[in-house]
Structure 1
Amino acid sequence: MGRKTICYRGSLKSCNYHCSYCPFSRHRASAAELERDRQQFVRFCDSMEKKAAESDIGAVFIVPYGEASIHRWYWEGLGRLAGLPGIDRVGMQTNLSFSVEACLNIFEFHCGGNDVGEMPGARKGKGRPQKKLCIWATFHPEMTDVDTFSDNCHKLTENGVNLCVGAVGVPQNLSLLGRLREKLPLDVYLWINKMDGLRRNYTEEERTAFSVIDPFFEVELNPPAADAAMCADRCFVEADGRVHTCNISKAKTVNWYTGNAEEIFRPLCGRKRCSCYLAYGGRADFEGRRHFGEYPIFRIPSGHI
C-alpha cells in the first residue's frame, strides 16, 4: 500500500468565468456562502494537522466545482498543508485566472518558510515550497486566449511550480490546442478530456490528432471497469465531512471529522466504470503511474517533480 491521497471539494459553486456549458458560471455566490466555504476549508486544514501523520497522507488535491483559486483562503490553506511534516504534494484545479505573483506569495508565507531554499540571494518564491505545489490548469477558449493562458503557465513554471495543462477535446478546437502545445514549456504535459456533449463518436482522424497531443487520450475514451480494491489509498472529502472513495463513488456512512482511518479509507464504489480521470487516475493499477509517479492524480510527469 502507498501513501494516501486526499481530494477535497468545498461548497463553492461559483466561478469568475462564464463558459456556456457550465452551470457554476450562472451562480453568483453571496458573502455568506463564501464565508461558509472559507470556514469549511479552514476546518479541513485544521483536521489535517492531526490526520496527515495518523493516516500517512502524502498529498492533498483541491478539486472545486467552481473557481477556488481566486479566493485567498485556498492559497492560505494550501500553504498550511504544504508546511505539514510528511506532506509531499498539494494542488488545485483552476482556470488559471489568478494573479500568479500575489497568490504564490500568500502560499509561501503560509508554508512558514520551512522549506525555503538556502541559496544566497535566491528570490523568495523560487525555493522548495513551490516544488510541493501542483497546479492542474484548464484552458477555456471561450474565456481566454492562448497567449494569455500560456504566459501564466510560464510564470508558474519559472517560479518552480509543477504544472499540467488541459482542455476538453472539442474537435473544432484542434488547431487551437495545437497552438497551445507550441506555446507551453516543453516539459508541461497537455491532457485532453473527452467531450461528453459531442453526441457522436470521435472520428479516427480526431482520435489520432488528440492522441498526438495527449498519449493517454485513448484511456480517457476507454475507462476501466470499476474495482474498489484498487482504491484503498485515497478518499474524497466533501465540505461537510462526507467521505467517498473518489469523486463519483457512493457516499460512505463515515464522516471525515468523526470516523477513524480504517472506516474512512475502506473502499466503497457502486459504479460500473471509472468514467473520469479523477476516478481512474487515482487507482493503484492505473498504467499512468509509471509516467506520473506516486501521485498520478495531479497529472504531472514524475520526471518533472
Structure 2
Amino acid sequence: MKAVLYYRGSLSSCNYDCPYCPFGKTKDSAATLAKDRDQLAAFVDWVTAQGEAGHRLSIFFNPYGEGLIHRWYREAMVTLSHLEHVDKVAIQTNLSARLDFTSELNPAKAAFWATYHPGQVRGERFLAQCTEVYRRGIPFSVGSVGIRSAFPAIASLRAALPEEVYLWVNAFKDRTDYYTAEDITFLSSIDPHFQINAVDYDSLGARCNAGSSVFYVQGPGLVKRCYKDRGVIGNLYRDGLEGLAAERSCRMKVCDCYIGYIHMPELGLEQIYGSGLLERIPYGAGRIVQ
C-alpha cells in the first residue's frame, strides 16, 4: 500500500512567541518531552518495519511547536530518509535549529517546509538558514502568513532567495475581506499560487484521500482521517494500514488549509506540485540547481 502519514506527537512547545499561535514561547515539562521522544521512537520503529509488509510511505512531521530543536526529531529525519520503502520525509520548521545534521540526510528523500516569522527572527538570520539548506542540497519551500505588516519582509525575502526556491504565502483568513485587489495582485506576484490558498473549499461530503491513503497519526498511535476531524478511526499499531484504510467523504463544511485540501482529488493539485506536494514545492521550483 502507498500511504501518506502526518505525524504529531505530544510536543506542544516552541521557541517563538507568535501572537496568533497558542504554543508560542511555551515550555514542555521534562516528562512531556520524554513522552514525545518515546512516542516518536515507537513511530519510527513502526515505519521501519513496514518495508517487510510491502508498504511505501511518505512522512510529514507537523508538530505543535518546533521539532528540529530536539535531537529526536533530527535523528528521526535522518533514519527515515535512508529507508528504501520511505519515499519522502518532510517537516514543518521555523529553521531556528542548527543544521549540521542535514549532512546525514538523504537529500533525495528529505525536505523542509520552512516558515518565516517576521518579528520572531531577523530577516538576515532566516535567510542565512535558508542559504545553508540550499547549499546542502536539501529541497525546501519557504513561506509566511500574508498579514499586511509582513508584506515588506516577505518581499525582501523573495528578492534575496534563489529564483528557483518557491516562496508561498498563506492567506490570512481570521478577518473576512481582509485583502484589497491591490493586496492580491502583490501577493500573487510573490506566490503565483496564492489564490489557491486564499479559497475555502466546500468539502462536506466531498471525496478526499484522507482516511483511505492519507492518515493523521497522533503520538500514542491514534489515527484520524483528517487533522481537523476529531473522529478517531483506529490505532496505527493495532490496526495497521489495511485495517485503517477506507473510502471516507469529508465531514467538515469547508477545507481551508493546505495540508487538508491538497488531498481532495477533484482539485487536481498534484498536477501543480507533483512529487513536491507534501513539502509544497511546485513543479520547476524548489529544486536545487547545482
- TM-score (structure 2 length as normaliser): 0.90
Which of 231, 237, 245 is residue 257 of structure 1 equivalent to? 237
Question: Which residues in structure 2 correspond to 1:81-230 (within 5 Å)?
Answer: 81-101=80-100, 103-105=101-103, 108=104, 129-198=106-175, 200-226=177-203, 227-230=206-209
Task: Give yes or no for contact 2:224–2:233 (8 Å, CA) kept in 1.
Answer: no
The answer (yes or no) to whether the contact 1:167–1:193 under 8 Å persists in 2 is yes
CA offset at residue 130 of structure 1? 2.0
Determine the C-alpha separation between the residues in 2 that align with 1:29 and 1:301: 35
SS in 1 for 2:127: helix
1:32 aligned partner = 31
User: Shift in Å at residue 150 of structure 1?
Assistant: 1.1
Secondary structure of the residue aligned to 1:257 is helix
State the shift of 1:224 in Å: 2.4
Say yes or no: does 1:299 pair with 2:276.
no
Identity between Structure 1 and Structure 2 (%): 33
Hey, what does 2:14 align to over in structure 1? 15
Instruction: Tell me how far apart the structure 2 counterparts of residues 44 and 256 of structure 1 sit (CA, whole Å).
Output: 9
CA distance in 1, matches of 2:140, 2:74: 16
Could you list the runs of 4 or more consecutive aligned residues of structure 1 that deviate by over 6 angstroms after TM superposition? none
What is the deviation of 1:33? 0.8
Q: Distance in 1 between matches of 2:151 and 2:102?
A: 32
Q: How many residues align?
A: 282
Q: What secondary structure is seen at the aligned counterpart in 2 of 1:165?
A: strand
> Which runs of structure 2 are paired with 1:68-87 in the superposition (5 Å)?
68-87=67-86
* RMSD of equivalent CA atoms: 2.0
Q: How far apart, CA to CA, are the structure 2 residues paired with 1:302 and 1:57?
A: 22
Residue 282 of structure 1 aligns with which residue? 263
Q: Any gaps of 5 or more consecutive residues in structure 1?
A: 112-128
Contact between 1:230 and 1:285, CA under 8 Å: does it hold in 2?
no
Gaps of 5+ in 2: none
Q: In the alignment, is residue 46 of structure 1 matched against residue 45 of structure 2?
A: yes
Once the 2 structures are TM-superposed, how far is the Cα of residue 153 of structure 1 from its aligned partner?
0.6
Deviations 1:78-114 (A, max 9, x none): 111112112121110011101112x324xx2xx6xxx
Q: Indicate if the aligned counterparts of 2:59 and 2:90 stay in contact, CA closer than 8 A.
A: yes
Which one-letter code corresponds to 1:292 in the other structure?
Y
Provide the residue aligned with 1:125 in structure 2.
none
SS at match of 1:240: coil
CA deviations 1:45-103 (Å, max 9, x no partner) are: 011122355363331010011111100100111111112112121110011101112x3
Q: Is 2:208–2:263's contact at 8 Å kept on the other side of the alignment?
A: no
Deviation (angstroms), 1:247: 1.5
Equivalent residue letter for 2:260: A
